[in-house]
Structure 1
């Protein structure tokens, strides 16, 4: 069995959907389906029970999943040890804005335990560059939020968060259980500096041009709301000062927490890191 085919199998087994697995692997669905059918032919047994809504693992598939994960983990450790011996055991990670996400803490703990020989260097970045310096070569991999211009990049979704609007606690709209974007059309929204990724800016503007103060960091966003009554969007579940409130937006697509790296980057430390992040952020 080729390691690549086993990675395909694990992706389908974890997503339980060929379409989602293909998107995760950044490939089209037909070659993924062919690879899995060939793997089943090689083994001589079905690995998945297929239905119009998705797939489920067979008993044989469940056994192979355990073995495939162990084999892929071992292959990753081999790459990491060889990289360390070659003096390549440093990985620079970009983290966007708020490093208090519990996923970051879980990832740091598990990665440090499983890869003690790797030196992780962290570059904390503000909101003006959602790729955290990746395109400029300042980091090897970024933990950030989409959407942004994904050309020449590989993106792995780690989690999705619902989004709300941040308001002053004494704002009349702060008493609402939920809001829609049109109800905020007359408000000023915080803006990112000129030259910021337009896809990123458009998302945090609710999909249309807005006007308001320019900010670069999370705290500047919160202060703009507190001092100027500006509104802006934020993922739900983050702690806010008592003077502020967040109201869920029911017509806003969720914010995707992602790991992203340069397409074709052969650094052997990236994949084990991303796999660890996938596990840590899904808990």
Structure 2
């Protein structure tokens, strides 16, 4: 028997809330209906998904497995629907993602002028969602910075950028003409994956600014970020031996789209 996505969606709601009443409210259905659907799903799978007793509801081992797989299954189904809908409706539209500091305006305007029937929009992406927004169809292509989780993507290398140290304005090395990595030995380095106070990861360039300006640490950023973002409490100094930042154009490897193929060819053919 095929797995019913509606039942899986109902199951995930109960599994996340561990409460049939609140799950029914979230799903906008009656609780008895929800209970019947869960029992039917358990019958379909020949597995008990929940332990029910006077203390409440808990997940069985099978339920824990279905929660992991079910979330991925529902996300994939939603992404498929979004991509199909976008492919089937007009006007033709491309959504182009970009990371902070990467200027796509000229490319998008040139492509739009050469293809007046295609609507082109830009959307900023962050390090922690850049791949997923491509894979789920939220953006069609994106200008990304490494590191990149490449699975499911096709990458077109575009260019590299030198990197500069982002320092507090009162840092001991502020005002230097340039630096080498050895000059920064002993410094506290901030990275996007670092956890801030309250276990909140640094997610955006703006959050990096706040961390650096407060004295929490320093970081390296592409020179384009330094050119576009300035603050009186932040300074930038070139680091001559820092590894260059790599920028690539990325799109879903298995997606069939003449619009995406056409945009890629226009980028390939653009002057460097």
Q: How does 1:38-187 map to 2 (within 5 A)?
A: 87=90, 89-98=92-101, 101-102=102-103, 104-131=104-131, 133-187=133-187
Does the Cα contact within 8 Å between 1:144 and 1:257 map onto a contact in 2?
Answer: yes
Give the aligned partner of residue 258 of structure 1: 248
Residue 132 (structure 1) shift: 6.0
Contact 2:112/2:119 (<8 A) preserved:
no
Give per-residue Cα distances to partners, 1:13-32, cap 9 Å, x unaligned: xxxxxxxxxxxxxxxxxxxx
Q: Give the distance between the partners of 1:132 and 1:145, measured in 2 at CA.
A: 14
Aligned to 1:47: none
1:220 to 199, 207, 213: 207
Q: Which structure 2 residue ranges, 5 or more long, are not aligned? A: 1-85
Matched, 1:233 2:220: yes
Shift of 1:143: 1.4
Q: What secondary structure, in the 3-state scheme, does the structure 2 residue paired with 1:92 have?
A: strand
Shift of 1:278: 4.5
In structure 2, relative to structure 1, the CA distance for the partners of 1:281 and 1:147 (3 Å cut) is farther
CA distance 1:228–1:274, shift in 2 (3 Å): same
Which secondary structure does the structure 2 equivalent of 1:174 belong to?
A: coil
Counterpart in 2 of 1:40? none
- In the comparison of the two structures, how many residue pairs are matched? 181
* CA 1:88–1:154: 2 relative to 1, 3 Å: farther
Measure, in 1, the Cα distance between the counterparts of 2:200 and 2:139. 29
Q: Deviations over 1:48-103 (max 9, x none)?
A: xxxxxxxxxxxxxxxxxxxxxxxxxxxxxxxxxxx9998472222222234xx44x
Q: What corresponds to 2:35 in structure 1?
A: none
When normalised by structure 2's length, the TM-score is 0.57
Where does structure 1 lack aligned partners over 5 or more consecutive residues? 1-82, 196-211
- Look at both structures and tell me which one has the larger radius of gyration over its CA atoms: 2
Query: CA RMSD, aligned part only?
Result: 3.0
- How far residue 259 of structure 1 moved from its aligned partner, in angstroms, is 0.7
Aligned equivalent of 2:189 = 189
Tell me the equivalent position of 1:4: none
CA 1:88–1:162 in 2, change beyond 3 Å: closer, same or farther?
same
